[in-house]
Structure 1
């Protein structure tokens, strides 16, 4: 492993020097799979799952051929990771709507700026970031002496997910179709369902100044003062299930030649800016609007959409297929850690007068108008059927470390205790673990529930258990959590490996002679372990207040948390039919956090 001073300082200069994601053996993944699912199963379910795993590991099992194909692929020229086919299948292969289901958001820290000033500052900072990225001058991330993959930064600008009938594709720079950095000079600005093309780079490539950008944005507010009719706000279509949206997009292209230019203006734009005509009444409303909002004023397929409300409150909505939270946090931290005028000056911005502002107009026939109207109504109902809430603690990572505990372990154990108390069960829990220290590294799927967590929750729920025993159970569970997280960081996790084998069989099972059904994928262990009751992910940054995403199933609570040195903010989401369970979870979490805080603070010092 290279030490920090040896790493390249160019943004993408270390990609070929990073280690590869380790490919586990079948035996290792199956051993871990059994260990991971075991706490969630009954004795009968364990036996059935064990039998399915034994069959999976037979010398003549189709799984052997599938794994051999994965090994061959991993060793192929040009392949940086055995997960290189997995990520497109996982993200671009999903067929439900991505709006609310897959996209995520960050709510930025408050600002005293008004809407136009805030939006102009964010645009200037983002354009400055793009200029640095084009020159490969964004410093690569190096943590604990290890460089991290910066490949995801190639998907920040002029990147749009394009719907497909079977699987989506991605329009992006740095690709065979569009080599090199993004060449667009404009952004797409939405206001009251109207879309405008706004130049942010002049003809010679120099950015417009803050004052120029502000003038352009004021022009958008004036030109878009009349709200677009619901049936004309084409952004609604991006909320549809993917194959349905693909059909609608083809209908758009067939309806009028000019619609191709309109799509090009949006899909080729560097990013979107969505201006809202109201100020959120609460932090939770701001979060909800960042997650879904008025879909006529969004283009959910766009990789990056900066959203600014009438009072200057701002945040970002992100399409997930090419971008994970860690990349967006780095981007946002850079945008918000330096005054906008400094960003603008560094970018070489020049006064050029008000930039070109042009309406982006689609020509729709009656059938397309009905399609847009129906999509908007369906998504509004879907958003209304999603319950959300925020929870905040005046207690953060510094205090947890003072209790001699990993902040993330403390958070996850509190979630488990609150979940048991609110729902009466311990359910499958997902946590995203970053693995960007590898080539094309993204995330690993960690399953949180362990035997140690079951014992901890049981100790807390047994009124006869003394504090010392509870503390010991907590410490054991926290240590196990930290240990498993480290294994995931090192690529020692079973789920994505086994899942990719399943995908290989679906794609190539017949030519590989590996068509026999594999009972593992129908086993209780596989189905129960992956049926999330809690889907959790953290985003630690002092520049954001909240982070959020939708739940992943009808029984799931999405738990997005920002664990800062002195604060801990959570955004929770779940389907409205089970909303009371989420609100009960929130109430129990408040109790559990204080209870654990007191338990650890009053205990004997740990060795």
Structure 2
């Protein structure tokens, strides 16, 4: 899939309009699926109340009709790529809580072999990233295909020099390939963090040619030397401000700009950070173990991060490395492709392919902010509150070395269906009941496609868990229930992949009412959005997502609610790694879930391997 620099450009982005549009379901289809999806989680009384309001919502003259008609008109508007074009910015950029830990996600890369120093590993990752950017700029990266279907490349435009900008009511995104910044990023620098200090470092020469590996490593050693000479680092690392709730950070950013003067070049400092190709965070502490490495990648030291940056490569003193990703324009599948490109080919080869050459020590300058007493107070408070927020989050890193996707396939079961069934059984045994479970399903085969929201608890899944808990159920009964649940899971996943899922459609209708309700004659929020079905289905007890790549060890994100366990999993042919997160107030339940999950995997494998009648 990788093209050489001499290969004629296939047009990485030109094929986007060859892709089909995301299908817009009919109102009737989404309402029917919504009832089917929420029913297993409801009592008969709750389901009846939900059915009544859903019928009123979609009846002729009902609010759903006006809202759906408005969405259909929008979808048909010239220049609109998808009926989800306004949904995604509102979903991600409209959230007002902190994105650090709550929204950003991470990958822990496989360890380098042979082992490398911190600066050697970091320089290699930078060289690989520069090669990837060059090929992307020249449109030498052909669109990926999945099962023969071309996938969208649009998210790749947001990999480099992309920064989320906080706003009082809604955030915005600064990115290349935009009206403000046409074409690929022309930036030649990155921002290096160490001990909370920030450095602007050129990684491309004046002619756009990458610096050699030796050049890059020499500059990174200079950063570590500067940090050693100031071991305490800056007293008020400005990166802490990016851990604040969005409106608070927006106000603090305005304060930074307002105190700008000839002696306080804060605007220039922000420009350096926000236009940089990416951030590189050189950590000062070696993780105690794998879980500690994952935790540090997820939130770590907020003063040594700029969480608004699309890409932050993070390298520890022992050479372990990973990435923290701002989620608003980037999904896991895009970052997996980048990660594979960074790690599958030796850095020296990628550096040569990019045309890198020795140009002397790269330009390296400290980035400094001048802070008022008020801003120093903001930094101090943000640091304290985020440290407490991290402490209030419980996590686990699990590795099952005797189970992998190969095991499930050998048993004739979809690997994802297998582990999702295990999650449900473990959750039932840990908490005494099933709960709403979200799974992210990629829809990148569509123009500007991203993900769809799948709900895992089907009637068949309920029957399966009931059979497993019934002491009188035979092995044959349990096997049959498991296979029915697995088949239903695969069928629902295919519905989601085909754009036939109800949640985002109905959610966008709710958002349209909030934006344009009076104009459309729907002045009040429709009662459907207050029904037991809507509220229960969207109150996650498990939030799950997978990242299948041999180049990563773990993938992780924060929980989505006070009762939620975030379940990020890497399902490889020969092993299964899971990172769990939840509020510390329910850490005991997460620990029980982890124990029951290990038991469920063994139990289900034994069941399927047993004698078949």
TM-score (ref. length: structure 2) = 0.97
Q: Distance in 2 between matches of 1:137 and 1:391?
A: 38
Q: Is 2:123 the partner of 1:120?
A: yes
SS at match of 2:10: coil
Q: Map of 1:81-120 to 2, 5 A cutoff?
A: 81-111=82-112, 112-120=115-123
Match of 2:447 in 1: 439
- Asked if 1:381 corresponds to 2:388, the answer is yes
Q: Within 5 Å, which residues of 2 pair with 1:123-202?
A: 123-202=126-205
Give the drift of 1:278. Answer: 1.8
- Work out which of the residue numbers 300, 303, 315 in structure 1 matches 2:307: 300
Kindly indicate whether the alpha-carbon contact (under 8 Å) linking 2:514 and 2:525 is maintained by their aligned counterparts in 1: no
Q: Is the CA contact (8 Å cut-off) linking 2:422 and 2:597 kept in structure 1?
A: yes
Mapped to 1, the partners of 2:141 and 2:24 lie a distance apart of 30
Q: SS state of the match for residue 371, structure 1?
A: helix
Could you say if the C-alpha distance between residues 380 and 299 of structure 1 is closer, same or farther in structure 2, counting changes exceeding 3 Å? same
1:552 is paired with a residue whose SS is: coil
Distance in structure 2 (CA, Å) of the matches to 1:214 and 1:502: 51
Match of 1:51 in 2: 52
Match of 1:486 among 494, 508, 527: 494
> Are the aligned partners of 1:419 and 1:426 in contact in 2 as well (CA < 8 Å)?
yes
Q: How many residues align?
A: 598
Q: Secondary structure at the match of 1:94?
A: coil
Q: Whole-Å Cα distance in 2 between the matches of residues 275 and 30 of structure 1?
A: 50
Q: Which residue of 2 aligns with 1:316?
A: 323
- Report the counterpart of residue 584 of structure 2 in structure 1: 576
Instruction: Spell out, residue by residue over 1:156-184, the C-alpha distance to the aligned partner (whole angstroms, 9 max, x if none).
Output: 00000000000000000000110000110
Q: 1:227: how far off? A: 4.2
2:535 aligned residue (527, 531, 538): 527
**Worse-matched range after superposition: 141-150 or 566-575:** 141-150
1:499 is displaced (CA, Å) by 0.2
1:240 match? 244
Map 1:27-46 → 2, pairs under 5 A: 27-46=28-47
Deviation at 1:13, TM superposition (A): 2.3
Shift of 1:91: 0.2
After TM superposition, give the deviation of residue 516 of structure 1 in Å: 3.4
Are residues 1:214 and 2:217 paired?
A: yes
How far off is 1:11 after superposition? 1.1
1:409 match: secondary structure: helix
Q: Contact between 1:194 and 1:227, CA under 8 Å: does it hold in 2?
A: no
Q: Which residue of 1 aligns with 2:593?
A: 585
Cα distance in 1 between the residues matched to 2:611 and 2:418: 15
Query: Residues of 2 paired with 1:227 and 1:57: CA distance?
Result: 64
Deviation of 1:511 after TM superposition, in Å, equals 1.6
Is the CA contact (8 Å cut-off) linking 2:510 and 2:525 kept in structure 1?
no
- Any idea what the Cα deviations from partners look like across 1:216-239, whole Å, max 9, x if unmatched? 101111122224556520000000
CA–CA separation in structure 1 for the residues paired with 2:359 and 2:232: 30
- Length-normalised TM-score, structure 1: 0.98
User: What's the counterpart of residue 536 of structure 1?
Assistant: 544
CA contact (8 A) 1:62 1:516 kept: no
Distance 2:87 2:232 in 1: 40
Shift of 1:10: 2.2
1:63 Cα deviation from its structure 2 partner:
1.6
CA deviations on 1:392-423 (whole Å, 9 max, x unpaired) are: 11110011100000000000000000000000
CA distance in 1, matches of 2:548, 2:10: 24
Which whole-Å CA distance do the structure 2 matches of 1:593 and 1:83 have between them?
A: 37
Contact 1:194 1:228 survives alignment (8 Å): no
**1:471-524 deviation line (CA, Å, top 9, x unaligned):** 000000000000000000000000000000000111111122221331100000
Contact 1:278 1:311 in 2 (8 A): no
Specify the SS of the correspondent of 1:510.
helix
Q: Distance in 2 between matches of 1:211 and 1:377?
A: 38
**Residues 229/310 of structure 1: CA separation in 2 closer, same or farther (3 Å cut):** closer
SS at structure 2 position matched to 1:449:
coil
CA distance in 2, matches of 1:359, 1:370: 22
Q: Deviations over 1:439-475 (max 9, x none)?
A: 0000000000011001000000011111000000000
Give per-residue Cα distances to partners, 1:496-555, cap 9 Å, x unaligned: 000000001111111222213311000000000000000000000000000000000000
The Cα of 1:604 is off from its aligned counterpart by 2.1
1:444–1:489 contact (8 Å) kept in structure 2? yes
Provide closer, same or farther for how the CA distance between residues 83 and 459 of structure 1 changes in structure 2, counting only shifts above 3 A. Answer: same
1:390 to 382, 397, 401: 397
1:65 is aligned to: 66
Q: CA deviation at 1:366?
A: 1.0
Q: Residues of 2 paired with 1:63 and 1:452: CA distance?
A: 30
Q: Which runs of 5+ in 1 are unaligned?
A: 1-7
d(CA) in 2 for partners of 1:361, 1:131: 30
Distance in 1, matches of 2:184 and 2:456, equals 39
CA contact (8 A) 1:231 1:369 kept: no
Q: Is the 8 A contact 1:520 1:526 kept in 2?
A: yes
Per-residue deviation at 1:146?
1.1
Runs of at least 4 residues of structure 1 off by over 4 A? 227-231
| Deviates further, 59-68 or 303-312 | 59-68
In the other structure, the counterpart of 1:332 is 339
